[in-house]
Amino acid sequence: MEYRELAVPGAFEIAPKQFGDPRGVFLEAFKAGPFADAVGHSFDLQQVNTSVSAAGVLRGIHFADVPPGQAKYVMCAKGAVLDVVVDIRVGSPTFGTWDAVLLDDVDRRAVYLSEGLGHAFMSLEDGSTVLYLCSTGYAPGREHGIHPLDPALDIEWPTTARDGTPLTPQLSEKDEAAPTLAEAREQGLLPTLDEVRNYVSSLA
């Protein structure tokens, strides 16, 4: 299992070793020791979510108030998605920076994003099934969103599906109504870098 930190500090791509034979494939999707070695603390699993999305479905950008925030360990069990992490921490040198990883049922990579980061993905195939291991449970009063098509972020969302057909972004009403990054900052919704650092350091 190999960990690679993304352009957004606190987010990692995880590449598992796969063992295949005529029966199929086996891999370790999560392992506590390597995770703690890479991230600096253990993962406190509190909830596991699953979403199934048609091609073009765009979910996010989602984040939660810090503390406690919500760290996520994200995998695609079926299909393919472009998974995106956004630095929304006010005061961060990389504020507004994003990075992306292709998650699919071929390479079976995962993405970990720490508390205080924004998360989104676009489905590249009908039936794409995403699993989210979450460090906190669902709490609607402290969960927020940023519009994933915010021009200031300029995220390079795919325009073609895995099979080469054109993609049209499909957003929920909630995500469609989400503020831009600048508006979320003006509204005081975003976590600060110091808040996130203080909370994450308490987990070590």
Q: Domain boundaries in the chain?
A: 2-18+26-203
Q: How far apart are CA 117 and CA 17, in angstroms?
A: 27
Handedness of CA 182, 187, 188, 191 (dihedral sign): negative
Is-cis flag, bond preceding 68, omega within 30?
yes
Q: What is the pLDDT of residue 40?
A: 96
Q: How far apart are CA 125 and CA 128, in angstroms?
A: 6
- What pTM does this model have? 0.96
Q: What is the pLDDT of residue 173?
A: 98
Catalytic residue, candidates 62, 119, 144, 147: 62
130 three-state secondary structure? strand
Q: How far apart are CA 44 and CA 29, in angstroms?
A: 16
132 is catalytic: yes
Read off the pLDDT of residues 17-68 as tens digits, 9 standing for 90 and up.
999 999 999 999 999 999 999 999 999 999 999 999 999 999 999 999 999 9
What does the block give as tokens for 53? 């999305």
Catalytic residue, candidates 73, 112, 119, 132: 132
What does the block give as tokens for 182? 């600048």
Which CATH number is correct for 2-18+26-203, 2.60.120.10, 1.20.120.330, 1.10.3720.10, 3.40.50.1220? 2.60.120.10
Q: What is the pLDDT of residue 51?
A: 98
Q: How far apart are CA 29 and CA 10, in angstroms?
A: 19
Read off the pLDDT of residues 131-163 as tens digits, 9 standing for 90 and up.
999 999 999 999 999 999 999 999 999 999 999
Question: What is the rounded end-to-end Cα distance, in angstroms, of the chain?
Answer: 21
Q: What is the pLDDT of residue 124?
A: 98
Read off the pLDDT of residues 83-124 as tens digits, 9 standing for 90 and up.
999 999 999 999 999 999 999 999 999 999 999 999 999 999
62 is catalytic: yes
